Amino acid sequence: MSEKQFNGRSAIVTGGTRGIGKAISLELARRGANVAFNYSKSADEAERLKAEIEALGVKAYAAQCDVARTVASAEFVAKVKEEFGGIDYLVNNAGITRDQLILRMKEEDWDAVIDTNLKGAWNFSKAAIRPMMRNENGGSILNISSISGVVGMLGQSNYSASKAGMIGLTKSLAKEIASRKVTVNALALGLIETDMASGMNDEYREKIIAQIPLGRLGSVAEVADIACFMLSPSAAYITGQVIQADGGLAM
Ligand code: NDP
């Protein structure tokens, strides 16, 4: 792998301010890509990350944009195209949880999770594929899904459905745009050390770790490495696939 394998390329990462999205944004920038990211509330974190990306010698663009909103998502993508001159990669990463057993889950918790995680990925994909299809070398989309969408998880009917939906979106879109050299894949992650995972109490955490064959949570650096591989020319012959990175949890 060359150090600057993404030199001159442009990427969008949704939900870049924290956790996995931040790690992927920084790794893409380290490898030479211009990086645009959006966020929901974390304006200060966004400013800091934008400066960090620019310090790596590439362009950065950041703006508040709710991925659940179709028009705003299209406007964000159009602005990135204007700023960077094109779009090569999209990482649909923005996601939320609102866990609750279905009998106690409120309709708004179902809607918020489906709208953010699934419709958000659809919104950004729809807006970004046209510029990607016009590229001579195509492009690549990576959807950040979860093993919750593969095997289901207690208390996550909304989240599991959204993440399973992303897998369907991945496969369908991969078939639609393969002829234009645009690949679409999903990462089904297990537990990764981020704010999202820090909500677990110690007892539950130990219980989960005991079930992970590799005996630990994954790190955001590991996810960023896998994401960069999936977007890179090394993965050009992989499309419509779900790559599980979960320490062996959901074999
Ligand atoms: P975090 O909660 O740490 O970060 C979520 C990011 O998404 C933040 O940047 C947040 O912005 C942004 N975001 C949330 N809602 C919206 C929205 N409506 N519009 C735009 N941006 C939004 O999450 P993680 O890094 O842990 O997770 C990232 C992805 O990985 C998610 O899709 C998650 O489902 C998936 N995943 C995570 C796992 C884990 O163990 N951590 C396991 C499996 C999958 P802001 O800072 O402004 O709130």
pLDDT given at position 70: 98
**Please, which residues bridge with residue 38 across strands?**
63
DSSP string, 113-164: HIIIIIIHHHHHHHHHHHHHHHSTT-EEEEEEEETHHHH--TT-HHHHHHHH
Structure tokens at 198: 């820090």
Torsions phi, psi for 89 (to 5 deg): -135, 145
Tell me which of 39, 89, 159, 204 is the catalytic residue: 159
pLDDT given at position 121: 99
Which uninterrupted H or E stretch holds 242?
strand 242-245
Is residue 1 pLDDT above 80, yes or no? Answer: no
CATH number of the domain at 10-245, out of 3.40.50.720, 3.40.50.300, 3.60.21.10, 3.40.50.2000? Answer: 3.40.50.720
- Mean pLDDT (whole number) for 167-181: 98
Cα–Cα distance, 94 to 103 (Å, whole number)? 26
- Mean pLDDT (whole number) for 7-11: 98
Residues 6+ apart with CB under 8 A from 91: 11, 12, 13, 14, 21, 24, 141, 142, 144, 227, 231
Is residue 199 pLDDT above 90, yes or no? Answer: no
Ligand 1 atom, smallest distance to 23 CA: 25
C-alpha count within 13 angstroms, C-beta hemisphere, residue 19: 19
Is residue 224 pLDDT above 60, yes or no? Answer: yes
Q: What percent of the chain has pLDDT over 70?
A: 99
- Mean pLDDT (whole number) for 107-120: 99
Cα–Cα distance, 162 to 166 (Å, whole number)? 6
- Amino acid at position 220, single letter: V
Is residue 2 pLDDT above 70, yes or no? Answer: no
- Domains of the chain, residue spans: 10-245
What's the 40 CA to ligand 1 centre distance in angstroms?
10
- Mean pLDDT (whole number) for 8-28: 98
Q: Residue 215 in 3-state DSSP?
A: coil
Residue 159: active-site member? yes
Of residues 73 and 205, more confidently modeled: 73
| 79-98 pLDDT tens trace | 999 999 999 999 999 999 99
Residue with tokens 């064959």: 213
Is residue 198 pLDDT above 90, yes or no? Answer: no
Measured at the alpha carbon of residue 106, what is the angle toward residues 123 and 148, in degrees to the nearest 5?
60
- Mean pLDDT (whole number) for 137-166: 98
Average pLDDT, the chain: 97
Is residue 3 pLDDT above 80, yes or no? Answer: no
| 29-42 pLDDT tens trace | 999 999 999 999 99
DSSP string, 8-67: T-EEEESS-SSHHHHHHHHHHHHTT-EEEEEESS-HHHHHHHHHHHHTTTS-EEEEE--T
Is residue 100 pLDDT above 90, yes or no? Answer: yes
pLDDT given at position 197: 79
Structure tokens at 137: 């070398």
Do the Cβ atoms of 17 and 46 come closer than 8 Å? yes
% helix, strand, coil for the chain, step of 5: 50, 15, 35
| pTM of the complete model | 0.98
Query: In this structure, which residue's CA is closest to atom 3 in ligand 1?
Result: 19
- Mean pLDDT (whole number) for 215-226: 98
Question: Ligand 1: residues within 6 Å at CB?
Answer: 14-21, 38-42, 66-68, 93-96, 116-117, 144, 146, 189, 191-192, 194-197
